[in-house]
Structure 1
Amino acid sequence: MSQTTYCGGCACGAVRYEATGAPVAELHCQCRHCQMRSGTGHSSYLVFAGVDAVRVAGRLQGWSVAGDSGNEKTHAFCPTCGTPVLLTFVAAPTITAIHPASLDAPERFHPTLVAYGSRALGWDHHDPALTVLAKGPPA
């Protein structure tokens, strides 16, 4: 059986990553922090589980913030071009979320849910077939 691989990186090519295995979640997050960080109504993520699920080549810069749950999360981006690449969580160190637009094949992203739908902005619409959670996914 072959392993599923997702490859991608930043806009300038200084950072590359490879995520292996199937994502455990593919989602849009409408929490206020994701809105502000992205400059849009939400951020989108493919979430991978496992210590070595995502391997990165190149240097990432990170900054941390407490999410709506109160748990710290670290956003990693390319320090050269500023492209957001991935997100990690102090409370769940084996979870890594990557931004689907950073994939070499972004069309592989197939969201199934919306987190923090209670924070949705009226102009940010999603496919009505997606499951909408008022808050974050259960731990």
Structure 2
Amino acid sequence: METILRGGCLCGAVRYECAGDPGSASYCHCDDCKRATGGPYTVGVLVRAADLRILSGEVKGYTTIADSGRKITRQFCPECGSPLFTRAEKCPDLVFLKAGSLDEPRRVKPSCQTWTKRAVPWAHIDETLPSFPEDRPS
């Protein structure tokens, strides 16, 4: 069954939807994700780039070299700054939706954690999930 995920930014300028089956969701504890979100980690939902549609507004991007050593582009609303998507050089056909930007983030259940070697000690880590000190193996 096809799933439709909808979301947008804080100010409402950017709205998106993603039709198709979402892939896995994961916590990322890398330093870059912490800085980009202002929190102890981010939760990304893997979707096919071809399934993502921007319904309104435009996004801006910031490209940098991630902790992994590869380029990533973080996309956000230029009006309110809300983080929306991350695109990674190593998987150009995929996009990581920021779970917090979804209209219904409770539909997402992370299945693993990455970059746990960078996790802050006061952030809860679900010990039942597979955890990787760096990137998840390909």
* TM-score for both structures, normalised by structure 2: 0.92
CA distance in structure 1 between the aligned counterparts of 2:15 and 2:3, rounded to whole angstroms: 17
Cα deviation, 1:62-108, whole Å, max 9, x if unaligned, reads 10111111110001111111111111122321110011111111111
Q: Structure 1: 5+ residue runs without aligned partners? A: none
- Segments of 4+ in structure 1 off by > 3 A? none
2:41 maps to a residue whose letter is H
1:1-139 alignment runs, 5 A limit: 2-49=1-48, 51-57=49-55, 58-139=57-138
Following superposition, the deviation at residue 112 of structure 1 comes to 1.0
- Computed over aligned residues only, the root mean square deviation of the Cα atoms, in angstroms, reads 1.3
Identity %: 32
2:92 maps to a residue whose letter is P
CA distance in structure 2 between the aligned counterparts of 1:97 and 1:53, rounded to whole angstroms: 12
Q: Structure 2: 5+ residue runs without aligned partners? A: none
1:56 maps to a residue whose letter is I
CA distance in structure 1 between the aligned counterparts of 2:80 and 2:96, rounded to whole angstroms: 19
CA distance in structure 1 between the aligned counterparts of 2:76 and 2:120, rounded to whole angstroms: 25
SS at match of 2:93: strand
CA distance in structure 2 between the aligned counterparts of 1:138 and 1:20, rounded to whole angstroms: 26
2:53 maps to a residue whose letter is R
The question of whether the paired residues in 1 share the 8 Å contact of 2:24 and 2:46 is answered with yes
CA distance in structure 2 between the aligned counterparts of 1:80 and 1:37, rounded to whole angstroms: 16
Aligned pairs, number: 137
The question of whether the paired residues in 1 share the 8 Å contact of 2:25 and 2:44 is answered with yes
CA distance in structure 2 between the aligned counterparts of 1:10 and 1:36, rounded to whole angstroms: 18
SS at match of 1:18: strand
